[in-house]
């Protein structure tokens, strides 16, 4: 009889996409996987489309909420708690994997009550609230980056699983192709600044779904060799293989994809991220000579032009080698191996 694993992940793509990569690896090994997530959420729309049975429960964040809204959130969490108990009774998993998000917190607590082995995976350099709490009661913690958890937590560094297979990279001698990642919703500062740079480049600019028309207009009358503007990039493996340099925010999955594809980047962390985790994510590259960190307050087209002018062959090779040293091979396989052996 095959093992049964309950994946608990939701809220953002940063939780959902690595969880999906782990799910696909487990399914290759004939494990039965079902998914616990939030009702009316990103995962409730995304996960069933991949043929995975999805259990939606009521969830709500409680961090920083006002009193009346907090009472409502606590009521929904209580109802979600009961729903999650029913999921456990119906599916009877052999183990559960929490990737972060509120449903993961509910499921992790119930797993502990029912003596179901609980594993968690942290994608960021700074653990989110849910994983920070669950790490104290989990069977084992996985972390994408070294030293994410406190010293007293015995964590295994696995990297972040990604959903695509990286393409081979050409050897870099200069920066010709610039990939700009504005995020799924669009990073306004990046979208408005990059069209102003003076360095002539081939640019592939992903704007986010609401900013395509605006960014198109900003590139009018620029001197760049070739400009391709899209709201969303379907084939990220192709995009990273094409790019000599990436300019992007510093979400955990972006940083992990840069490492996996050996792609040099200038990272502009989102300044309002919880616990400033994007700056710490970016420091994982910049402190190891594998990327360039520019805080948003210092970000301008002139600064970008200056940084690009300093990326000579020697510097590019050094950064590429540093990226290679940070790579963890096949994170989803490492995690599956540990769970099933």
pLDDT in tens, 84-133: 999 999 999 999 999 988 889 899 999 999 999 999 999 999 998 899 99
pLDDT(261) > 70: yes
H or E segment and range at residue 118: strand 118-122
How many Å is the Cα radius of gyration of the chain?
21
A 10 A CB-CB count for 313 gives 11
H helix runs in the chain, sequence order: 13-28, 42-46, 67-91, 102-113, 129-134, 188-193, 212-218, 236-242, 252-261, 277-286, 301-309, 313-326, 331-340
Lowest-pLDDT range of 83-87, 223-227, 254-258, 324-328? 223-227
**CATH number among 3.40.50.10540, 3.30.930.10, 3.40.50.2000, 3.40.190.10, domain 177-326:** 3.40.50.2000
**CATH number among 3.30.413.10, 3.40.50.2000, 3.90.110.10, 3.40.50.300, domain 4-161:** 3.40.50.2000
H or E segment and range at residue 230: strand 226-230
H helix runs in 92-235, sequence order: 102-113, 129-134, 188-193, 212-218
Distance between terminal CA atoms of the chain? Answer: 15
pLDDT of residue 33: 97
Confidence of residue 210 (pLDDT cuts 50, 70, 90): confident
Confidence of residue 80 (pLDDT cuts 50, 70, 90): confident
Domain with CATH 3.40.50.2000 in the chain: 4-161, 177-326
- Backbone torsions φ then ψ of 225, nearest 5 degrees: -60, -50
Given a contact cutoff of 8 angstroms between Cβ atoms, the answer to whether 195 and 219 are in contact is yes
Given a contact cutoff of 8 angstroms between Cβ atoms, the answer to whether 276 and 300 are in contact is no
Residue 5, strand partner residues: 33, 95
What distances in angstroms separate CA 71 from CA 11, 37, 76, 80, 164, one per listed residue? 21, 21, 9, 14, 42
pLDDT(74) > 60: no
**3-state DSSP call for residue 102?**
helix
Confidence of residue 76 (pLDDT cuts 50, 70, 90): low
Q: Quick one: average pLDDT of 42-67?
A: 78
Over the stretch 145-157, which tens digit does the pLDDT of each residue have?
A: 999 998 899 899 9
């Amino acid at each position: 009889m095959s093992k049964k694993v309950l994946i608990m992940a939701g809220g953002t793509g940063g939780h959902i996409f690595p969880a999906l990569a782990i799910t696909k690896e487990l399914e290759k090994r004939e494990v039965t996987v079902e998914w616990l997530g939030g009702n009316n959420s990103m995962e409730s729309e995304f996960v069933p489309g991949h043929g995975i049975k999805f259990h939606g429960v009521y969830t709500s964040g409680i961090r920083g909420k006002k009193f009346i809204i907090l009472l409502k959130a606590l009521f929904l969490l209580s109802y979600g708690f009961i729903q999650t108990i029913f999921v456990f009774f119906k599916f009877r998993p052999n183990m559960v994997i929490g990737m972060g998000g509120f449903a993961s917190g509910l499921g992790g607590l119930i797993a502990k009550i029912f003596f179901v082995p609980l594993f968690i995976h942290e994608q960021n350099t700074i653990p989110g609230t849910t994983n920070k709490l669950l790490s104290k009661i989990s069977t084992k913690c996985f972390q994408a980056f070294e030293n994410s958890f406190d010293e007293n937590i015995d964590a295994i560094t696995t990297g972040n699983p990604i959903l695509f297979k990286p393409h081979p990279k050409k050897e870099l001698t200069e920066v010709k192709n610039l990939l700009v990642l504005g995020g799924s919703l669009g990073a306004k500062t990046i979208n408005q600044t990059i069209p102003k740079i003076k360095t002539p480049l081939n640019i592939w600019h992903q704007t986010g779904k609401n900013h395509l028309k605006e960014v198109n207009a900003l590139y009018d009358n620029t001197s760049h060799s070739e400009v391709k503007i899209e709201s969303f990039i379907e084939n990220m493996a192709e995009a990273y293989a094409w790019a000599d340099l990436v300019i992007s925010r510093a979400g955990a999955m972006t940083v992990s994809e840069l490492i996996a594809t050996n792609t040099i980047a200038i990272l502009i962390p989102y300044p309002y991220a919880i616990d400033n985790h994007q700056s710490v994510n970016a420091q994982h590259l910049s402190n190891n000579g594998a990327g360039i960190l520019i805080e948003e307050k210092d970000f301008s087209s002139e600064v970008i032009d200056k940084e690009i002018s300093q990326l000579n062959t020697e510097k590019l090779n050094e950064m590429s080698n540093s990226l290679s040293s940070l790579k963890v091979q096949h994170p989803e396989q490492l995690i599956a191996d540990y769970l099933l052996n």
